[in-house]
Structure 1
């Protein structure tokens, strides 16, 4: 089982946030397709500071036992700024879930950079895997029930995609020749993305090509070792198939960068953050 803790907060700029009354329907479909369980934490305050953020789609997924709402008790200050509390609730739920199911839960946000409170984060060098305009995502027109049915019928392909992501960074870290390992694993990952896109087309699922950045936790010792990660590398999709299948502008990037990570990451956990950001037109 792999679960994801989500938030309705979007970063607009330095100390500028935006939260929505309802979850973005496309983001919700992303989470539903690629994850087994979703936790959408709920801030709870006795004085009624926080409104309920339920919706028909959230209620449907709760009844389907796919989504849950971890209740996080938060005593707000007098300010009417909600967003920092929602992020605090996300981190609290992330910690609680991983205490129950160690290493099975990650964070997801709709930002290009992970948004974390200073007191709950540490700046570190991470391994990043960036999928640019190559992640097939069901469009808003696709019902949640149809996505659940698709997952049931195509579970093996989706699990293989997850396994390829896991193997990519595990093999890069373990290899003495990271550039060669990256080429081999990226080619396999590209083929799997093309396959998922094709089977979604066969199932008549309208979709977008979205972006996904995965932030991976690796030790400082590994990152300080010369050549341990290799140079930042762009991998474009094969020319012969990319244009016809909607991957003409797509690429996968693997690099090492500085970024924030939660202080509450369980020991041994690797992929701790999945950042789904801007999508493009329907294909």
Structure 2
């Protein structure tokens, strides 16, 4: 019996989650540090593109009138089949380049949020965009949900057509993971006082990650193991929930099923979940749905 059928037989809620399209805004690898802006490449990072393509229905690579970032043949093909958007979002005004580019990335998220509320999130990290400048204290009023060594992603050289085919065949497992991650975010931001509810949400998320590890083993292409961090507008510091406070103060929580699934191909890997204070983005009002995601590849998986 396939993983989807097994979950359907054991999980009464399986298949009942929303399948509305979800999109991720991706950026060329770049960073802001102090008074400087560094653009590592005018293209998208190949690993970041493949990781994002696997888990998201739509991708957007916004352009601007300050920096020329041409499409590759791969991007043109994704645009042609309707998976990728590459709109030009004009920037105006002067100022320091680091401020202009930071504003450009913030504007991209607010632009897509206004186009389709709750659908789009932004990518971030060393293979995308990262702001290394110290953020003001008030911006640390968000929450980060981190999965360590729990998510399989395709290697940078896997053909895009293979990823699209896998998504078509394993849509159920991909949707169930996304649904349980969203459910965890909602459970935390609802500020309930039930430790048991958080435990159930984590158990479901663990099972979804474990299923993904198992189904990617059928793939004949290289797979890597990654961390993923989702950021949302919920202030842990002001939460009155004793359950959320207890989870915030814990070092981490083991993902036992995921760890067992990984052990079949890679020994000695610990899979964990943790919540912690993070940066917020108050220009959008989404306390229960992450607005930012970061993927970080950690090792080969089999």
Q: What TM-score do you get using the length of structure 2 for normalisation?
A: 0.78
SS in 2 for 1:97: helix
Are 2:292 and 1:273 aligned? yes
Q: Residue 123 and residue 43 in structure 1: after superposition, are their counterparts in 2 closer, same or farther (change >3 A)?
A: same
TM-superposition CA deviations, 1:168-190 (whole Å, max 9, x none) = 12223443223x33332222222
SS of the aligned residue for 2:42 comes to coil
Secondary structure of the 2:299 match is coil
Query: CA contact under 8 A between 2:23 and 2:58: conserved in structure 1?
Result: yes
Write out aligned runs for 1:49-68 (5 A): 49-68=66-85
Call closer, same or farther: CA 1:223–1:245 in 2, change over 3 Å.
farther
1:252 aligns to 2:253 (yes or no): no
- Per the alignment, residue 108 of structure 2 pairs with 93
- The residue aligned with 1:263 is 282
Residue of structure 2 equivalent to 1:124: 140
Secondary structure in structure 1 of the residue aligned to 2:64 = strand
Provide the C-alpha distance between the structure 1 equivalents of 2:295 and 2:253, rounded to a whole number of angstroms: 19
- Kept in 2, the 8 Å contact 1:110–1:275? The answer is yes
206, 214, 221: which one aligns with 2:230: 214
Q: 1:2 to 1:133 in 2, by over 3 A?
A: same
Partner of 1:203: 219
SS in 1 for 2:89: strand
Contact map agreement 2:75 2:84 (CA 8 A) in 1: yes
Superposed counterparts of 1:71-150, under 5 Å: 71-75=88-92, 77=94, 84-111=99-126, 115=131, 122-150=138-166
Distance (Å, rounded) in 1 between the aligned partners of 2:181 and 2:171:
16
Contact 1:43 1:72 in 2 (8 A): yes
> 1:166 and 1:7, CA in 2 relative to 1: closer, same or farther beyond 3 A?
same
Alignment-derived partner of residue 7 in structure 1 = 27
Task: Specify whether residues 224 and 50 from structure 1 end up closer, same or farther in structure 2 by C-alpha distance, changes over 3 A only.
Answer: same
Structure 2 unaligned regions, length at least 5: 1-20
CA distance in structure 2 between the aligned counterparts of 1:151 and 1:103, rounded to whole angstroms: 22
Whether contact under 8 Å (2:32, 2:130) holds in the other structure is no
> Aligned runs of 1:26-37 on 2, under 5 Å?
26-37=47-58
In structure 2, the CA distance between the partners of 1:192 and 1:116, relative to structure 1 (3 Å rule), is: same
Post-superposition Cα deviations, 1:22-68, rounded to whole Å, max 9, x if no partner, equal: 21111001111111111111011xxxx52233222221211121111
Write the distance in 2 (CA, Å) between the matches of 1:25 and 1:4. Answer: 15
1:77 Cα offset (Å): 4.8
Q: Across the two proteins, how many residue pairs are aligned to each other?
A: 275
- Structure 1 CA distance, aligned partners of 2:38 and 2:160? 25
Per-residue deviation at 1:236?
Answer: 2.6
Stretches of structure 1 lacking an aligned partner (at least 5 in a row): none
Match of 1:236 among 254, 279, 283: 254
Residue of structure 1 in register with 2:6 after alignment: none
Contact 1:2/1:104 (<8 A) preserved: yes
> TM-score normalized by structure 1?
0.83
> How many angstroms does 1:18 deviate by?
3.5
Give the direction of change, closer, same or farther, for the CA distance of 1:89–1:114 in structure 2 (3 Å limit): same
Q: When you count strand as a share of all residues, which structure comes out higher?
A: 1
